[in-house]
């Protein structure tokens, strides 16, 4: 007896054709929600170009409400992120860019930012571009609708990513989130991208620009009381690093005092290497970049 069972490939094509036929019939019926549920379930059988075409058809469906269109757009973006996660790094950016036509939710912005700061064969790390994307993601994740789909750790993770990428950018990147308050989360201690000459308490030219930005931010906050904490990397003797971290904190204090702060409103301390930074996506950084992140100053607003 001959075995007439279909091959796996033939069966997959049959499923895809059957799914698309069902989707077409549902679309004709004008049932937006049912149409989208069936299309989203069948997305694994479609290539991204066909999936995008079907998404556009769904968004053009007159039976879809504004809220349903927002959901379709959001789901379409998430589907692109999922698809990109199975691709090599050098193929992901084009998928992310294709998803932008349906929106720029924080999940997409974070994924793009992580990709830009990751070492890839086809491109150099772009920390300035990543920082801008993370900051946009941080703004989106704080709005009411996005907050309902994000937990506290999502917010704090994106904040850390934004701070790290600003710190590693070779050019000045304007920022707006030295601190953050959303849904009861209040982060009062933030990494400030004030960089110093190696083995010195003298700011680099780029570090001075971030110090100027810090002054403007604190003036807008009515010059609150501060604790400035200096940190170093793990090179050198512990006693030397502890002293260096204190000198760097005092350098920032002196700079703030020349810009209107009273000495009694600022306290300083140094931690040396005793409180290393919590890194996000640490595998994206080489040893020199990690050390650069460790050599930091934190500013904490205190009562």
* pLDDT per position as a tens digit, 132-181: 999 999 888 877 677 778 888 898 899 889 989 999 999 999 886 565 55
Place 94 in a pLDDT band, splitting at 50, 70 and 90: very high
Residue 215 lies in a domain: yes
Counting residues of the chain whose pLDDT is more than 70, the rounded percentage is 85
Report the pLDDT value the prediction gives residue 258, as an integer from 0 to 100.
95
Residue 20 lies in a domain: no
- Angle (CA) 209 215 220, round 5°: 135
Residue 140 lies in a domain: no
Residue 301 lies in a domain: yes
Residue 212 lies in a domain: yes
Task: Please tell me the distance from the alpha carbon of residue 174 to that of residue 131, in angstroms, as a whole number.
Answer: 9
Return the bridge partners of 197, or none.
none
Task: Please tell me the distance from the alpha carbon of residue 183 to that of residue 35, in angstroms, as a whole number.
Answer: 35
Q: Is 233 helix (H, G, I), strand (E, B) or coil?
A: coil
273: containing domain: 188-303
Residue 110 lies in a domain: no
Q: Is 18 helix (H, G, I), strand (E, B) or coil?
A: helix
Q: What is the largest CA-CA distance in the chain?
A: 95
Number of domains in the chain: 1
222 vs 144, which has greater pLDDT? 222
Residue 291 lies in a domain: yes
Residue 217 lies in a domain: yes
pLDDT beyond 90 at 97:
yes
| Cα–Cα nearest to 115, from 124, 104, 102, 105 | 124
Task: Please tell me the distance from the alpha carbon of residue 101 to that of residue 163, in angstroms, as a whole number.
Answer: 27
Instruction: Give the CATH number, domain containing residue 280.
Output: 3.30.1330.60
């Amino acid at each position: 007896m001959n075995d007439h069972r279909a091959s796996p490939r033939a069966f997959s094509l049959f499923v895809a054709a059957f799914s698309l036929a069902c989707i077409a019939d549902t679309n004709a019926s004008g049932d937006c929600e049912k149409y989208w549920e069936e299309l989203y379930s069948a997305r694994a059988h479609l290539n991204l170009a066909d999936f995008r075409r079907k998404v556009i058809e769904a968004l053009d469906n007159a039976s879809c409400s504004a809220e349903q269109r927002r959901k379709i757009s959001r789901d379409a973006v998430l589907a692109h992120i999922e698809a990109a996660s199975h691709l090599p790094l050098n193929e992901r950016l084009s998928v992310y860019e294709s998803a932008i036509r349906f929106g720029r939710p924080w999940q997409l912005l974070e994924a793009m930012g992580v990709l830009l700061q990751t070492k890839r064969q086809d491109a150099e790390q772009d920390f300035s571009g990543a920082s801008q994307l993370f900051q946009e993601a941080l703004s989106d994740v704080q709005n009411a609708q996005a907050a309902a789909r994000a937990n506290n750790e999502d917010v704090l993770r994106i904040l850390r990513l934004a701070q790290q990428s600003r710190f590693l950018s070779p050019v000045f990147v304007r920022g707006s989130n030295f601190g953050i308050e959303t849904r009861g989360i209040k982060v009062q201690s933030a990494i400030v991208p004030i960089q110093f000459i190696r083995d010195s308490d003298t700011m680099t030219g780029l570090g001075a620009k971030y110090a100027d930005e810090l002054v403007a931010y604190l003036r807008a906050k009515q010059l609150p009381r501060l604790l400035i904490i200096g940190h170093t990397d793990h090179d050198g003797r512990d006693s030397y690093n502890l002293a260096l971290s204190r000198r760097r904190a005092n350098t920032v204090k002196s700079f703030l005092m020349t810009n209107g702060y009273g000495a009694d409103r600022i306290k300083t301390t140094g931690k040396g290497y005793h409180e290393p930074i919590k890194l996000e996506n640490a595998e994206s950084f080489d040893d020199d970049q990690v050390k650069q992140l460790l050599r930091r100053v934190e500013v904490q607003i205190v009562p």
